[in-house]
Amino acid sequence: MNRRVRSVRAALVLTVAVVTVLTGCAAQPGAAPVARTTAKAASAHAFVCPELTEVAALTATPFSSRSAGAVACSYATGRDVIASSTVTVQRLTASDRRTAAALRYAAMRRGAVTADLPALSFDAFSASTSTGCAAWFPAADGVLTAVTARQDGRSGAEECGVADAVATLVGSGSATSSAPTVAVLAPRSLLGTATAGTSWPWRIGAGAGVRIDLATGSGSVTPSSPGSSTRAAAAIPTDSAAVVFVSGTADAGSSRLEMLTAVTAALSAASGRSPNAKLIVVGPVASGATSPAELTELRDDLRSAAAIAGAAYIDPAVDAASGPGEVLGSVADAVSTQLHGSGVSPG
């Protein structure tokens, strides 16, 4: 089994791409595009490789090794997995002045399927082939960064969820983007059940054309605890256009007074940190053995707390046979719809 991390340079022949106006998920080659400048310049940031555990949790992939350098990093699974996976992040050299538009057009000419990444910028995109997927985005200095994802036995289109998620994670600090920031607070247990094909927090970014800032909060009942939603809400970006609280079932069984007090405290902390942010409460999303009665009580408490704080409430009601990935996918779609309806989404 070949577990060698392939360089993004080698992947260029298969996955590089180009476009003029980024509009849809499957563009077809036509007239050569006209390169445009980005909508809003970003501050220059040093290239930073995400931590191994961060990438593994985000993509729900058991990466066990990380190699990091000044302009590139790679993540790979170990020998004990059935199908090996690799993710490579690389900044092109400053001497490579090809635009994102030129690269996207070249990829389409080679038969790659391209899709926009509006969570980063209008000229960020992914390009998939039969063997892998690469996501591309520009930095403030015009240098492009590429994230390539591959897994044995999976098509490139299936790996775009991984590539897009890691690209957004890396690009959130270095990409050129005028998209509004949406802070998503969710229990780590829910992040662990997100499948590589959906990477649900970043599915919100793609669906609503926003940048996602992700934080974890294990629950609300003890607002002062280090992992509480209240503590996480007090550290969101101050320019957040919306704050989305996704609740699990850690607080099931708590009294109604405890829940109302704690959830409103978390919402208040978010408003204090970003006064103009739209508040959205989602939940509960069941990730363990919780009785139907407890779920009903928790749902009622969350809905009441949202009403008290003037927040929107989304009930992730799905078919009982739905798996965790389907539930979280429906949550992402519902949040995207809410962001569109409230005017947060630029689209």
Rounded-to-integer distance, Cα 116 and Cα 101, Å: 12
Beta bridge partners of 328: none
Query: Residues 184, 178, 144, CA angle at the centre, nearest 5°?
Result: 95
pLDDT confidence of residue 97? 59
Where b means 16+ CB within 10 Å and e means fewer, 279-303 reads: bbbbbbbbbeebeeebbebbbebbb
Tokens standing for residue 337: 């719809």
Helix, strand, or coil (residue 168): helix
Predicted confidence band of residue 192 (pLDDT cuts 50, 70, 90): low
pLDDT confidence of residue 93? 66
**Does a cis peptide bond (omega within 30 degrees of 0) precede residue 223?**
no
Range list of H helices, 182-255? 188-192, 200-208, 229-233
Nearest to 25 by CA among 251, 181, 203, 275: 203
pLDDT confidence of residue 29? 28
* Percentage of residues in the chain having pLDDT higher than 90: 24
* Percentage of residues in the chain having pLDDT higher than 70: 72
Nearest to 53 by CA among 227, 159, 206, 169: 169
pLDDT confidence of residue 53? 82
pLDDT confidence of residue 37? 30
pLDDT confidence of residue 112? 92
Lowest mean pLDDT among 18-22, 67-71, 192-196, 235-239: 18-22
Per the document, the length of the chain is 347
Cβ 22 vs Cβ 34: under 8 Å: no
Predicted confidence band of residue 198 (pLDDT cuts 50, 70, 90): low
Lowest mean pLDDT among 28-37, 149-158, 203-212, 336-345: 28-37
Task: Count the Cβ atoms, other than its own, within 10 Å of residue 212.
Answer: 23
Rounded-to-integer distance, Cα 55 and Cα 61, Å: 8
Sign of CA dihedral 196, 197, 201, 206: positive
Rounded-to-integer distance, Cα 119 and Cα 117, Å: 5
Tokens standing for residue 44: 């220059």
Does the domain formed by 8-31+43-171 have CATH 2.60.120?
A: yes
Cβ 3 vs Cβ 84: under 8 Å: yes
* Average pLDDT score, the chain: 75
pLDDT at 2 over 60: no
Rounded-to-integer distance, Cα 201 and Cα 214, Å: 8
Rounded-to-integer distance, Cα 339 and Cα 347, Å: 10
The string of pLDDT tens digits covering residues 11-42 is: 322 232 222 222 233 332 222 222 223 333 33
pLDDT confidence of residue 334? 92
pLDDT at 219 over 90: no
Helix, strand, or coil (residue 162): helix
Does the domain formed by 181-341 have CATH 3.30.1540.10?
A: no
Largest Cα–Cα distance in the chain?
63
Predicted confidence band of residue 205 (pLDDT cuts 50, 70, 90): confident
Q: Angle, to 10 degrees, between the axis of helix 292-309 and the axis of helix 256-273?
A: 40
Tokens standing for residue 41: 């310049």
The string of pLDDT tens digits covering residues 288-321 is: 677 888 888 989 999 999 999 999 999 986 555 5
pLDDT confidence of residue 302? 93
The residue-averaged pLDDT of 335-343 equals 92
Domain segments of the chain as ranges? 8-31+43-171, 181-341
Which residue is associated with the tokens 């503590």? 231
Question: Model pTM?
Answer: 0.58
The string of pLDDT tens digits covering residues 48-94 is: 788 888 788 778 788 999 998 888 999 999 877 778 999 999 987 65
Cβ 35 vs Cβ 104: under 8 Å: no
Lowest mean pLDDT among 21-25, 139-143, 198-202, 211-215: 21-25
Higher-pLDDT residue of 311, 140:
311
The string of pLDDT tens digits covering residues 91-112 is: 876 555 567 778 888 888 889 9
Range list of H helices, 35-187? 52-59, 100-109, 156-171
Nearest to 17 by CA among 102, 95, 87, 91: 102
Higher-pLDDT residue of 212, 129:
129
Cβ 182 vs Cβ 339: under 8 Å: yes
Rounded-to-integer distance, Cα 124 and Cα 19, Å: 10
